[in-house]
Amino acid sequence: MPTRFKDTQPLKTLAKAATSCSAQSAAYGRCIGKSYQEVSKDMCQAEFLAFKECVQKAVGRKW
């Protein structure tokens, strides 16, 4: 049985992936920053999904 890769530092992996998606991250941040005093659920769904997709691609797995 091939040994499966175990990620011992998941936070670092996520951090690295997120840094490579800084454009999408900034877009999401701007969306929240526009009305941060009135935040509701899924207010910036579209921006977040774009960000998340980019991160998922960089990490190489989906959740």
Partner 1 sequence: MRTAIAALRSAARLGTARVANPRRTYATLSPHTPPPTTPYEVFDEPSKIRQRDRAILRLREHEAVAGPGVVDYLREDIAERLAERVEDLRVPPGSILEMTSHAGQVTKVLQEVLGDELHPSQEAGGVLGAEKRKWWMVESSDGALHRDNDFEYPPTRIRASMSDFLVEPEIAALRGKLDAVVSGSGLHWIGDIVGALTQMRHLLKPDGVFVGAVLGGDTLFELRTSLQLAEQERRGGIANRVSPMINPTDAPSLLTRAGYTLTTVDVEDVTIHYPSAWELMSDLRDMGESNAILGRRAMVSRDVLLATEAIYKELYGVEGGVPATFQMIFMIGWNPGPNQPKALERGSAQQSLKDVL
Enumerate helices (H) and strands (E) in the chain, giving the number of each: 3, 0
- Shortest Å, Cβ 2 to partner 1: 25
Residue window 1-40: x/- pattern of binding to partner 1, with contact defined by CB under 8 A: ----------xx-xx--xx-----xx-xxx-xx--x--xx
Q: Give the number of other CB atoms < 10 A from CB of residue 44.
A: 20
Number of chain positions touching partner 1 (CB under 8 A): 25
Could you tell me the CA-to-CA distances from 35 to 12, 29, 52 in Å, in that order?
30, 11, 21
Report the interface residues with partner 1, using CB under 8 A: 11-12, 14-15, 18-19, 25-26, 28-30, 32-33, 36, 39-44, 48, 51-52, 55, 63
